Amino acid sequence: MTEQDDIEQLIRQMADDLRARLEAARVRDALMVGIHTGGLWVAERLHALLGLEQPLGELDISFYRDDFSRIGMNPQVRPSRLPVSVDERHIVLVDDILHTGRTIRAAMNELFDYGRPAAITLAVLGERSGRELPIQADVVGRHFDLGEHEHVKLSGPEPLRLSILEAP
Amino acid sequence: MNITIQHGRLIDPANGIDSHTDLHIADGVIAGVGKVPDGFSADSHINAEGQVVCPGLIDLRARLREPGGESRATIATETAAAASAGITTLVCPPDPSQPIDTPALVDLIRHRAKQSGHARVLPLGALTQGLAGQQLAEMATLKQAGCVVVSNGLQAVESTQVMRRAMEYASSQGLTIFLHAEDPWLAAGGCAHEGVVSVRLGLVGIPEAAETIAVARELQLIEQTGVRAHFCHLSSARAVRMIARAQYDGLPVSADVAVHQLYLTDMDIGYFDTQCHVRPPLRSQRDREGLREGLKQGTVAAVCSDHQPLGPDAKLAPFPASEPGISGLETLLPLTLRLADEGLLSLPEAIASITQRPAGILGLLDHGEGGTLATGARADVCVFDPEPYWELRADELQSAGHNSPFLGWELKGRVSCTLLAGELTYHTCD
Amino acid sequence: MRRHSLQHDSEGRLHHLLTIEGLKRQQIIDILDTAESFVSVGDRQVRKVPLLRGKTVVNLFFEASTRTLTTFELAAKRLSADVLKININTSATVKGESLLDMLHNLEAMQCDMFVVRHADSGAAHLIARHVAPHVSVINAGDGSHAHPTQALLDMFTIRRRKGEFAPLTVAIVGDIKHSRVARSLIHALTTLGVSELRVVAPKTLIPAAVESLGVHVFHDLDEGLRGADVVIMLRLQKERMQGAMLPSEAEYFATYGLTEEKLALAKPDAIVMHPGPINRGVEIASSVADGPQSVILEQVSNGIAVRMAVMSMALGRAPAEGEGA
């Protein structure tokens, strides 16, 4: 269990880290994109802390999931919204927890269907072991050491709360 | 060959008999009922204990597809199916592929039936040549060849003038005329009763008026020409009332109903069940009740199967493109018996509607050629067990046509033996 | 196993889409919601999502159609499905075993969905009854019976413009008798619960017992339009002049054609719809079809998103009991 204050603190650290990175790479005009739903909550906070010029983008990766034929269509899909063109732009992709890497794969596929970004930086609030794809985050709030049957879940949006659950 | 059918419940509506008694048959004719006639000695006995013994069934309309449609069914397959269903006489209407407008066709059908030996087939002679509704068929010649009735089948006689003359001529020859009452223009292109179901499913409807307008026209002409006429397979309550009125007025008219019309309505089409595509169409529940009431009151005298054996392709099509018809021989008896179970008719009345009354319409009764177990009559007999329940299954149908909306229904009453002129044509008993 | 309707699987999910009749209100809403999320796909550089990658959709058209066929094809392609188009000679009646043989051949080629258009009512039901359990059938119009995706895209268009269905008065004007669109619209609008649903036409174009579907019948266009929020015009087929359904196109336009003057009887913010193709000057004046209240082109573009929604929902089901994968 991670407390609310800790999470806001983690996000502030992530923002500092990100700012440093973007400055080092001389990136101006970055587009931040949050992945529905938890990633978007984290992105909203990062976006405010960094004071980015471009509005926040959002992605719903339901149409890109590779397990579609097993789990079927979710009618509560929200449309993805990217306020500006992604072409030749630096994208900061934000998610809550990085686990297998499949969500990020789907999100990147979708981003490329909108255009050709100059670069993508990945920022996640938490990461854990269990990667199934060669994907790593550039900015990580916290690392979780979890047992095989444990899961970490972000609830929100107010307050944000991370819980570790025993998977059935 | 002398046979005694023992211990059965003998129901012979033509002679007002309903009692447990024996039936004696000698050389193909009824030798007597009850006590053994003088000089009679049975060569064999049929034990009908717990069973009903009645005249062989007479089906007023059954298509046999021969000649012309042998790929679907033959006289041999269909008469065998008839025998297994207790039917001893089948009336075969003309249709465009076998218009029965020449003595040769009449002979062919009768000959094939005789060859197969399972049931007697009475071909209905054509009313107009080729059923085209223009020139009169050679009705006197057809009568000589053995037709007792003439009909234009399902083909309309559009011209009122031609219909009038056909009736006048048939009447002059002493022929009864069978009528399919349907206004060809109102029915054109239709495949279902015009009403709540046709509007929902987007099917072209056949309005009730298609039947009543035709009935009205024919009744006027019948009154004028004095022809003895019979209306086939009525479908609407209003037509039944019109015929009741005409009978009350003394017109020589009778009517029958196809047994499926007494059970099904347009609602049974559900989502395009092509097994419920029939002609005339299944109508509303009110019509079904009207037909039942007409049968109870006697306005509608007879019940028939309106048998139409079809190949598997015929129903495997979108509803409007599928062929109308039900393979009905094997459901005629159990569905008619069910009318008695449901209390609409008494058991003898139900049996009369498929024996005595159709025999009367065909003029067979007075000659002892069917529908009666009077002494001296031809020994056409059906013995059935009224009790057992059985499920109608396609693979158990004897008819070559497996098209029936009653598949899967639980039916009651099963034939155990059928005799045609004293010969067993079907038996499961000893 | 619980008995379920032909178009639902044993878990109540959409397996085939054959008719609007029998769909629950929430099921229609779900389709419209899903369609909403597909709208933006059309605005992107790559107008494609990989949802149905590896699936094969067969457009089985027994009756000529350009627009419906095109939008189904586009919808399938935007979902990344492989699309096969089979135009069956409409003059030769394909029925019985030969029709089923063809279906089974297509199944053997691992097809996953048949989009069917046929001139006979009930054709889609027939095909759905005989396909392998894993195959989905979408009715793209059968005879005068149903055209469910057209009705859904119209519901989508109405919802985007009007929000709620409950307060609406909707008038459907024209050849109700022969229109599969009208039947599907009536089922959709009554299921979604509009305040009043009217059909407007001379008696020759109104089917018997149409009131049983829950509509009010008007024979006078002025009365039928008065106070309407949505006016849906139906295409008038030229054949109707034969068979004594109507005296002439000119008289039809004069009595039932939608002109600016007539449209003024509806609410000021009423929208005008038409399933297309339009007969200008027969059922609708050009000035109305191209006017500010017309949403006819919007209907066309919404058609793609709605068809994407239906296809992805029917094919994106975890296999239910009794279905092979």
Is-contact B228 B176, C-beta < 8 A?
yes
A and B: touch, per 3+ CB pairs < 8 A? no
In the predicted model, what is the mean pLDDT of residues C154-167? Answer: 97
Of C36, C50, C316, the CB nearest to A73: C316
How many Å lie between the alpha carbon of C144 and the closest alpha carbon of chain B? 5
Q: pLDDT value at position A4? A: 59
CB proximity C212 to B under 8 Å: yes
Quote the mean pLDDT of chain B: 96
Residue A159 confidence class, pLDDT cut points 50, 70, 90 = confident
Of C19, C93, C121, the CB nearest to B319: C121
Residue C91 confidence class, pLDDT cut points 50, 70, 90 = very low
Kindly name the residue from C48, C53, C67, C203 that is annotated as catalytic.
C67
In the predicted model, what is the mean pLDDT of residues B414-428? Answer: 95
- Is residue C147 part of the annotated active site? The answer reads yes
Per-residue model confidence as pLDDT tens digits over C167-192 = 999 999 999 999 999 999 999 999 99
Per-residue model confidence as pLDDT tens digits over C42-52 = 777 778 888 89
Per-residue model confidence as pLDDT tens digits over C196-232 = 999 999 999 999 999 999 999 999 999 999 999 999 9
Q: How far is CA C289 from CA B12, C200, C298, in A?
A: 75, 18, 12
In the predicted model, what is the mean pLDDT of residues C62-82? Answer: 90
At the topology level, CATH places domain B53-367 in TIM Barrel (3.20.20)
pLDDT greater than 60 at residue B74:
yes
CA atoms within 13 A on the CB side of B179: 33
Least confident of B291-305, B326-340, B415-429: B415-429
> Can you tell me whether residue A41 is helix, strand or coil?
helix
Q: What is the pTM of this model?
A: 0.90
Q: pLDDT value at position C325? A: 38
- Residue-by-residue DSSP string for C210-276: GGGGS-EEES-HHHHHTT-SEEEE-PPPGGGGGGGS-S-HHHHHHHH-B-HHHHTTS-TT-EEE--S
Structural domain containing residue A29: 4-166
10 Å Cβ neighbour count for B297? Answer: 11
For residue B140, with 0-12 CB atoms within 10 Å meaning exposed, 13-18 middle and 19 or more buried, which class applies? middle
- Report the amino acid identity of residue A98: L
Residues of chain B with CATH 3.20.20.140: 53-367
A-C C-beta contacts closer than 8 Å: 56
Residue C103 confidence class, pLDDT cut points 50, 70, 90 = confident
Per-residue model confidence as pLDDT tens digits over B327-345 = 999 999 999 999 999 999 9
For β-strands B176-179 and B228-231, DSSP reports them as parallel
User: CA-CA distance, C135 to A106, in Å (whole number)?
Assistant: 27
- Is residue C160 part of the annotated active site? The answer reads no
Q: pLDDT value at position C100? A: 76
pLDDT over 90 percentage in chain B: 94
pLDDT over 70 percentage in chain C: 94
Least confident of A102-116, C138-152, C170-184: A102-116
pLDDT greater than 90 at residue C105:
no
pLDDT greater than 90 at residue A6:
no
User: CA-CA distance, B175 to B181, in Å (whole number)?
Assistant: 18
pLDDT greater than 60 at residue B409:
yes
pLDDT greater than 60 at residue C94:
no
For β-strands C56-61 and B423-427, DSSP reports them as unpaired
**Please, what is the end-to-end C-alpha distance for chain C in angstroms?**
19
pLDDT over 70 percentage in chain B: 100
Q: pLDDT value at position B309? A: 96
Residue C146 confidence class, pLDDT cut points 50, 70, 90 = very high
In the predicted model, what is the mean pLDDT of residues B90-102? Answer: 93
10 Å Cβ neighbour count for A131? Answer: 15
Of C18, C120, C207, the CB nearest to B321: C120
For β-strands C230-233 and C271-273, DSSP reports them as parallel
Give chain B as a 3 state SS string. CEEEEECCEEEEHHHCEEEECCEEEECCEEEEECCCCCCCCCCEEEECCCCEEEECEEECCECCCCCCCCCCCCHHHHHHHHHHCCEEEEEECCECCECCCCHHHHHHHHHHHHHHCCCEEEECEECEHHHCCCCECCHHHHHHCCCCEEECCCCCCCCHHHHHHHHHHHHHCCCEEEECCCCHHHHCCCCEECCHHHHHHCCCEECHHHHHHHHHHHHHHHHHHCCEEEECCCCCHHHHHHHHHHHHCCCCEEEEEEHHHHCCCHHHHCCCCHHHCCCCCCCCHHHHHHHHHHHHHCCCCEEECCECCCCHHHHCCCHHHCCCCECCHHHHHHHHHHHHHCCCCCHHHHHHCCCHHHHHHHCCHHHCCCCCCCCCCECCEEEEEEEEEEECCHHHCCCCCCCCCCCCCEEEEEEEEEEECCEEEEECCC
In the predicted model, what is the mean pLDDT of residues A90-94? Answer: 96
Q: Which residues of B touch C120 (CB under 8 A)?
A: 317-321
The alpha carbon of residue C115 and the mean position of all alpha carbons in its chain are separated, in whole angstroms, by 13
Q: Which residues of C touch A112 (CB under 8 A)?
A: 46
Residue C110 confidence class, pLDDT cut points 50, 70, 90 = confident
The backbone region for A110, taken as left when phi is positive above 0, alpha when psi lies in -120 to 50, beta otherwise, is alpha
At the topology level, CATH places domain B2-52+379-427 in Urease, subunit C; domain 1 (2.30.40)
- Structural domains of chain A, count: 1
Per-residue model confidence as pLDDT tens digits over B142-163 = 999 999 899 999 999 999 999 9
Is-contact B366 B356, C-beta < 8 A?
no
Kindly name the residue from B306, B366, B380, B385 that is annotated as catalytic.
B306
Tell me if A75 and C317 make a contact (CB, 8 A cut-off): no
- Report the amino acid identity of residue B247: Q
Tell me if A63 and C36 make a contact (CB, 8 A cut-off): no
- Is residue C280 part of the annotated active site? The answer reads no
- Is residue C117 part of the annotated active site? The answer reads yes
Q: pLDDT value at position B281? A: 98
User: CA-CA distance, B210 to B154, in Å (whole number)?
Assistant: 13
Q: Tokens representing C295?
A: 């949403």
Tell me if B203 and C145 make a contact (CB, 8 A cut-off): yes
Tell me if C40 and A80 make a contact (CB, 8 A cut-off): yes
In the predicted model, what is the mean pLDDT of residues C244-264? Answer: 95
Is-contact B167 B195, C-beta < 8 A?
no
Q: Which residues of C touch A73 (CB under 8 A)?
A: 34, 312-313, 316-317
Residues of chain B with CATH 2.30.40.10: 2-52+379-427
Least confident of A107-111, B284-288, B333-337: A107-111
Strand B87-92's sheet: what is its strand order? Answer: B57-59, B87-92, B120-123
Tell me if C33 and A81 make a contact (CB, 8 A cut-off): no
Q: pLDDT value at position C4? A: 55
- For residue C63, give the nearest of C9, C144, C129 by alpha carbon: C144
Per-residue model confidence as pLDDT tens digits over B239-263 = 999 999 999 999 999 999 999 999 9
Q: pLDDT value at position B429? A: 59
- CA-nearest residue to A66 within chain C is C51
Domains of chain C: 25-147+302-315 (3.40.50.1370), 148-300 (3.40.50.1370)
pLDDT over 90 percentage in chain A: 54
How many Å lie between the alpha carbon of A75 and the closest alpha carbon of chain C? 5
User: CA-CA distance, B198 to B206, in Å (whole number)?
Assistant: 9
User: CA-CA distance, A115 to B14, in Å (whole number)?
Assistant: 91
Interface test with B, best of C63, C120, C147 (most B CBs within 10 A): C120
Q: pLDDT value at position A151? A: 86
Residue C2 confidence class, pLDDT cut points 50, 70, 90 = very low
What CATH code is carried by the domain that includes residue A62?
3.40.50.2020
Least confident of B222-231, B376-385, C31-40: C31-40
Which residues 75-104 of C are in CB contact (within 8 Å) with A? none
pLDDT greater than 50 at residue B108:
yes
Of C6, C96, C120, the CB nearest to B313: C96
Is-contact A66 A102, C-beta < 8 A?
yes
Q: Which residues of B touch C210 (CB under 8 A)?
A: 199
How many Å lie between the alpha carbon of C208 and the closest alpha carbon of chain B? 6
In the predicted model, what is the mean pLDDT of residues B33-57? Answer: 95
Kindly name the residue from C48, C95, C104, C129 that is annotated as catalytic.
C95
In the predicted model, what is the mean pLDDT of residues B121-128? Answer: 96
